[in-house]
């Protein structure tokens, strides 16, 4: 998973402070059936970068005039809505930078997280930047180009009244976003360990987006939230003192740009990422969002560790 922090005033923040912590955050990947798109935003490729690009893009992609990039904008600061209902964030900046390197426009499409991989497989999207953890299981369906590292963090109410740690969640209700690695395999593995010790299972409260998970914690419906480390840290910082992250993050793993196996974009996206790392654009984007601690230096194809 990952780590992320920082951003400016956004719709996510105003919802958080004015409507009970409905902060938009999201988490690492998944797959389910169905796909839904809503508001979209597109950004032109930078002409200078495009003109100087030596990366070959498949003709079928080039002929479309733009690459369609799916994202679930509920995972600040990686992808979320600003106060003008525009999708922004680290992943969005990176998608546009990749488009510049490829010499194509970028069409950002909102999608429910659990529907993105099926949408990639069906050809609905050309690729996805949406805080996906690159896992061996997901690699069976799509390719990944790694671009970040993150872990999972435990978020609780400030003061941690129940003195929870990632190791003491037996019998507790833990809110997660549906389709994330926190929902599966993290909580099922914890439940298995709890039962082996004669303790009660961890109850997963799964929500369509990260905002719902955070709201469950603020309302007392959940005892804690498990989310990607950057997302949990960012949510805590934006919670007006209501949340805190406790303990250390765990299960660090790479984020990957998800790409259909058959559309010919995997190698071009890898080449684009390597150029962005080499010319400093990549690190500049991460620093903008305060998440440079998760930076990598060697993007690769299908770099899952588990």
User: Residue 290's pLDDT is what?
Assistant: 86
Separation between Cα atoms, residue 144 and residue 9, nearest integer Å:
31
CA distance 184 to 144: 19
Residue 67 DSSP class: E
Q: What is the pLDDT of residues 154-187, one digit of tens each?
A: 999 999 999 999 999 999 999 999 989 999 999 9
pLDDT digits (tens, 9 = 90+) for 222-250: 999 999 999 999 899 989 999 999 999 99
Q: Which residues pair with 69 in a beta bridge?
A: 108, 127
At what angle are helices 210-219 and 229-237 packed, to 10 degrees? Answer: 50
Per-residue pLDDT of 16-51, as tens digits, reads: 333 333 333 334 443 333 333 344 444 433 333 344
Residue with tokens 């299972």: 201
pLDDT for 65:
86
Burial 255-287 (b: 16+ CB within 10 A, else e): bbbbbbeebbbbebbbbbbbbbbeeebbeebbe
**pLDDT of res. 54:** 81
Q: How confident is the model at residue 3 (pLDDT cuts 50, 70, 90)?
A: very low
**Closest residue by Cα to residue 30 from 274, 295, 228, 250:** 228
Residues in the chain: 306
Three-state secondary structure of 245-256: EEEEEEEEEEEE
Q: In the chain, what are the domains?
A: 11-150+253-294 (3.40.190.10), 151-251 (3.40.190.10)
Q: Which pair of structure tokens corresponds to residue 109?
A: 């499409």
């Amino acid at each position: 998973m990952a780590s992320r922090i920082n951003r400016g005033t956004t719709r996510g923040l105003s919802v958080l402070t004015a409507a009970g912590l409905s902060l938009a955050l999201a988490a690492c990947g998944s797959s389910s059936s169905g796909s839904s798109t809503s508001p979209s935003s597109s950004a032109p490729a930078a002409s200078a970068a495009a003109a100087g690009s030596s990366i070959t893009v498949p003709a079928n992609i080039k002929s479309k005039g733009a690459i369609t990039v799916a994202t679930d904008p509920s995972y600040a600061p990686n992808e979320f809505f600003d106060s003008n209902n525009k999708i922004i964030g680290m992943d969005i900046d990176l998608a546009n930078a990749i488009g510049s390197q490829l010499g194509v426009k970028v069409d950002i499409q909102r999608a429910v997280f659990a529907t993105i991989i099926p949408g990639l497989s069906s050809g609905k999207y050309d690729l996805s930047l949406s805080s996906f953890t690159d896992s061996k299981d997901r690699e069976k369906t799509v390719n990944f180009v790694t671009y970040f590292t993150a872990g999972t963090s435990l978020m609780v109410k400030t003061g941690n009244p129940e003195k929870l740690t990632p190791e003491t969640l037996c019998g507790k209700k833990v809110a997660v976003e549906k389709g994330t690695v926190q929902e599966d395999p993290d909580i099922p593995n914890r439940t298995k360990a709890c039962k082996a010790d004669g303790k009660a299972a961890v109850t997963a409260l799964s929500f369509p987006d990260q905002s719902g998970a955070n709201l469950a914690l603020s309302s007392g419906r959940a005892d804690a939230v498990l989310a990607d480390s950057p997302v949990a840290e960012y949510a805590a910082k934006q919670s007006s003192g209501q949340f805190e992250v406790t303990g250390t993050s765990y299960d660090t793993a790479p984020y990957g740009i998800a790409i259909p196996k058959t559309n010919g974009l995997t190698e071009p996206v890898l080449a684009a990422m390597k150029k962005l790392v080499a010319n400093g654009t990549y690190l500049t984007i991460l620093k903008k969002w305060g998440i440079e601690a998760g930076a990598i230096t060697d993007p690769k194809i299908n770099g899952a560790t588990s």
